[in-house]
């Protein structure tokens, strides 16, 4: 999935890069000092031509050997001073800029953790990964080199031009001749290079996504013999990226050619004119040497303009891409209570009626869905009493997984309310809500860490054995390092059933007040399922649970069953009651219906 954005119209690279100031501000003292040191070093280099003028017009013309050696010592000291100053600049910026990069990366990671699930549904993981790695590396390089040297080179060129005009104004005007065409070329280059740089960085994100998906899906690729087609897809993307990089190279070559050629022609013209003036006695040889030495010293500051502009444009597009994620609205920790008009119960109702898990006229439509599209869930009214377990049954695509995701606020309601023991979940801080509600999904996600870390997720370590026992995950003790065994990326070193049992242990380890299970036993064999169900009964006796179920055996774990059909609750009762009274439910439980093992309604 690509998340390629069109370049911003009338976008200013300078305004974009100014957004980095809050991150750079803590290091401003060292950075300003480094810039001053670099300017001083560059200006020190411009003193060398003046020493050469003195040497040629004085000691060399007079045959004063001792003064020539003194002049050589001056030149050596100036060269050493310039080198030491540039080394000091490098030392000054290295540590603070690595800190800036680390802080920006940590800030992006924190923001990604707080962004809603709907954001992650839209964005490819490779695009986010490239923003946290490649883009931030470009920004660090920009802050370390181009940012400083755009200033340093501008000051150097200005000081150098003043020195040349003071030496001989006519030769100075010859050198200044290419200034206007060089400036025009830079303006045109900046506009064109921005578009290509943005395209290249987006394509790097797409390529990262393909690599990540290929690694995570290597079993599917090998199992279906799709390695050749995946390789072709990868080659197509790399070919596109190569083409874009070549366009960047052509643009850079064009501006570099213009910026290099015009000043060289001007220096050649100044050399010819200066030699004529020396021959006519209008100019001293030392002045001409100093003038040409200064002009040659300005070659690199002028020629580097294209390179520095290119890096600045890449840094500006990297900044754009970084803040595209940072500017997304995070989940709000607190929200006002929804009014009673959305289906709230009467404040004078008995306390028992408000307790447990309740859905009040809940309606949900995905944020990116068209306004006129029907909601995924519509007018859901459901009450799960304290200590009761409710099975949620429905055909594939009926919205079961979506409904369970609303309880921990992985998605926000479109309308209506959900309450836990009478309190609206939107009025609770998310951290508090998610400490009360534990979840286990049909497709369990494990992290590249130990079994214990995957189960505990910050909970008391003393609860580990009990949780493993409830989930019938005692196989963990037979692993090479027991619960300290690393499970590998996505837990792929374990079987599907083992991963599901670890995820179930994670859900019950904290003894949650509310438990939401999305078909948690789908990957288990019959015997293991029976053992897990037996252990779960004790857990469910002390919690309020909503369980998505497809199998009769799982349904029978629950006290009651709710039938979800086309986004609505159409029946509620015990398993046996619904078997007798509801044809759709009986059809689903018979195994002949489209009960499905997955969820199509996202």
Angle, vertex CA 366, rays to CA 362 and CA 367, nearest 5: 115
Using the predicted structure, report yes or no on whether residue 1 has a pLDDT greater than 70: no
Using the predicted structure, report yes or no on whether residue 351 has a pLDDT greater than 90: no
**Is-contact 359 380, C-beta < 8 A?**
yes
Using the predicted structure, report yes or no on whether residue 323 has a pLDDT greater than 50: yes
Using the predicted structure, report yes or no on whether residue 245 has a pLDDT greater than 70: yes
Predicted local distance difference test score (pLDDT) of residue 352: 53
Using the predicted structure, report yes or no on whether residue 600 has a pLDDT greater than 60: no
Better-predicted residue by pLDDT, 57 or 404: 404
Least confident of 18-27, 67-76, 194-203, 586-595: 586-595
The ranges assigned to domains in the chain are 21-326, 354-589
Can you tell me the mean pLDDT for 332-352?
A: 43
CA atoms 326, 331, 333, 335: torsion sign: positive
Predicted local distance difference test score (pLDDT) of residue 597: 38
- What the block records as the tokens of 448 is 């590249």
Q: What is the rounded CA–CA span in Å between residue 301 and residue 153?
A: 5
Angle, vertex CA 339, rays to CA 337 and CA 340, nearest 5: 130
Using the predicted structure, report yes or no on whether residue 3 has a pLDDT greater than 80: no
Spatial CB neighbours of 7, under 8 Å, sequence gap ≥ 6: 194, 195, 198
Using the predicted structure, report yes or no on whether residue 341 has a pLDDT greater than 50: no
Least confident of 211-215, 258-262, 436-440: 211-215
Can you tell me the mean pLDDT for 468-480?
A: 86
Q: What is the rounded CA–CA span in Å between residue 520 and residue 522?
A: 6
Using the predicted structure, report yes or no on whether residue 353 has a pLDDT greater than 80: no
Q: What is the pLDDT of residues 42-100, one digit of tens each?
A: 888 888 888 887 878 777 776 778 878 887 888 888 889 888 988 888 888 888 888 88
Q: pLDDT band at residue 281, thresholds of 50, 70 and 90? A: confident
From start to end of 301-408, where are the E strands? 357-364, 377-384, 389-393
Using the predicted structure, report yes or no on whether residue 287 has a pLDDT greater than 90: no
Q: What is the rounded CA–CA span in Å between residue 25 and residue 19?
A: 11
Spatial CB neighbours of 547, under 8 Å, sequence gap ≥ 6: 389, 390, 391, 392, 515, 516, 517, 520, 554, 557, 558
Predicted local distance difference test score (pLDDT) of residue 572: 92
Q: pLDDT band at residue 337, thresholds of 50, 70 and 90? A: very low
Using the predicted structure, report yes or no on whether residue 561 has a pLDDT greater than 90: yes
Predicted local distance difference test score (pLDDT) of residue 384: 92
Using the predicted structure, report yes or no on whether residue 418 has a pLDDT greater than 90: yes
**Is-contact 303 256, C-beta < 8 A?**
yes
The secondary element (H helix, E strand) that includes residue 244 is helix 227-279
Q: What is the pLDDT of residues 426-458, one digit of tens each?
A: 888 888 888 889 888 877 788 888 888 888 887
Predicted local distance difference test score (pLDDT) of residue 242: 92
**CATH class, 21-326 region:** mainly alpha
Q: What is the pLDDT of residues 382-399, one digit of tens each?
A: 999 998 999 999 888 888
DSSP code per residue over 393-408 = E--TTSSHHHHHHHTT
Least confident of 24-28, 285-289, 477-481, 596-600: 596-600
**Is-contact 558 549, C-beta < 8 A?**
yes
**Is-contact 131 317, C-beta < 8 A?**
no
Using the predicted structure, report yes or no on whether residue 343 has a pLDDT greater than 50: no
Name the strands in the sheet holding 544-548, side by side, starting at the edge strand that comes first in the sequence.
437-440, 514-518, 544-548, 389-393, 560-565, 568-573
- What the block records as the tokens of 59 is 């000691």
Q: What is the pLDDT of residues 121-153, one digit of tens each?
A: 888 888 888 888 889 988 988 888 888 888 888
Alpha helices in 342-409 (DSSP H): 351-354, 400-406
Can you tell me the mean pLDDT for 545-566?
A: 87
% of the chain at pLDDT higher than 70? 92
- CATH architecture type of domain 354-589: 3-Layer(aba) Sandwich (3.40)
Q: What is the pLDDT of residues 6-49, one digit of tens each?
A: 445 556 778 888 899 999 888 888 888 888 888 888 888 888 88
Predicted local distance difference test score (pLDDT) of residue 73: 87
Distances (CA, A) of 394 to 408, 414, 592: 21, 21, 13
Name the strands in the sheet holding 423-424, side by side, starting at the edge strand that comes first in the sequence.
377-384, 357-364, 415-420, 423-424
Q: What is the rounded CA–CA span in Å between residue 230 and residue 308?
A: 37
- What the block records as the tokens of 586 is 């009986």
Least confident of 301-305, 363-367, 409-413, 580-584: 301-305
Q: What is the pLDDT of residues 150-186, one digit of tens each?
A: 888 888 888 888 888 888 888 888 888 888 888 888 8
Predicted local distance difference test score (pLDDT) of residue 333: 56
Mean pLDDT of the chain: 82
């Amino acid at each position: 999935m690509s998340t390629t954005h069109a370049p911003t119209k009338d976008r200013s690279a300078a305004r974009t890069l100014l957004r980095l100031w809050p991150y750079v501000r803590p290091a401003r003292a060292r950075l300003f000092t480094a810039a001053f040191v670099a300017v001083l070093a560059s200006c020190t280099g411009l003193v060398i031509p003046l020493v050469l003028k003195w040497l040629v017009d004085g000691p060399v013309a007079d045959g004063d050997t001792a003064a020539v050696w003194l002049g050589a010592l001056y030149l050596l000291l100036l060269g050493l001073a310039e080198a030491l100053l540039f080394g000091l600049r490098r030392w000054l910026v290295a540590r603070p800029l690595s800190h800036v990069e680390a802080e920006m990366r940590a800030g992006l990671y924190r923001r990604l953790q707080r962004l809603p699930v709907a954001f992650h549904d839209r964005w490819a993981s490779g695009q986010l990964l490239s923003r946290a790695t490649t883009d931030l590396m470009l920004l660090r390089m920009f802050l370390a080199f181009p940012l400083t040297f755009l200033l340093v080179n501008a000051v150097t060129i200005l000081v150098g031009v003043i020195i040349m005009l003071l030496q001989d104004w006519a030769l100075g005007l010859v050198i200044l001749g290419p200034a206007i065409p060089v400036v025009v070329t830079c303006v045109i280059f900046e506009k064109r290079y921005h578009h290509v740089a943005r395209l290249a960085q987006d394509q790097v994100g797409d390529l990262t996504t393909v690599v990540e998906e290929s690694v995570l899906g290597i079993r599917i690729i090998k199992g279906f013999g799709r390695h050749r087609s995946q390789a072709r897809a990868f080659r197509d993307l790399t070919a596109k990226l190569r083409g874009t990089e070549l366009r960047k190279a052509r643009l850079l070559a064009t501006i570099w050619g213009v910026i290099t050629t015009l000043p060289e022609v001007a220096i050649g013209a100044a050399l010819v004119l200066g030699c004529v003036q020396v021959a006519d006695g209008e100019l001293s040889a030392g002045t001409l040497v100093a003038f040409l030495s200064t002009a040659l010293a300005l070659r690199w500051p002028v020629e580097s303009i294209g390179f520095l502009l290119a890096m600045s444009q890449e840094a500006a597009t990297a900044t754009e891409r970084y803040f595209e994620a940072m500017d997304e609205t995070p989940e709000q920790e607190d929200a006002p209570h929804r009014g009673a008009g959305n289906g709230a119960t009467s404040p004078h109702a008995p306390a028992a009626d408000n307790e447990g898990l309740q859905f009040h006229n809940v309606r949900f439509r995905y944020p990116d869905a068209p306004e006129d599209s029907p909601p995924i869930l519509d007018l859901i009214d459901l009450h799960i009493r304290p200590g009761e377990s409710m099975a949620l049954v429905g055909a594939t695509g009926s919205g079961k997984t979506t409904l369970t995701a609303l309880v921990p606020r992985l998605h926000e309601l479109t309308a209506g309310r959900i309450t836990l023991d009478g309190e609206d979940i939107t009025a609770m801080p998310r951290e508090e809500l998610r400490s009360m509600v534990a979840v286990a999904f049909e497709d369990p996600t494990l992290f590249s860490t130990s079994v214990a870390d995957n189960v505990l997720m910050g909970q008391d370590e003393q609860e580990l054995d009990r949780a493993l026992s409830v989930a019938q995950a005692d196989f963990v003790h037979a692993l090479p390092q027991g619960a300290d065994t690393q499970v590998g990326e996505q837990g792929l070193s374990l079987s599907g059933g083992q991963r599901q049992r670890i995820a179930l242990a994670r859900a019950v380890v904290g003894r949650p007040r509310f438990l939401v299970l999305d078909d948690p036993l789908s990957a288990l064999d019959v015997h293991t399922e029976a053992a897990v169900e037996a252990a779960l009964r004790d857990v469910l006796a002390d919690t309020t649970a909503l369980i998505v179920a497809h199998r009769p055996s799982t349904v029978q774990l629950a006290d009651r069953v709710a039938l979800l059909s086309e986004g609505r609750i159409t029946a509620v009762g015990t398993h046996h009651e619904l078997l007798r009274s509801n044809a759709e439910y009986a059809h689903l439980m018979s195994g002949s219906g489209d009960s499905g093992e997955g969820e199509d309604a996202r």
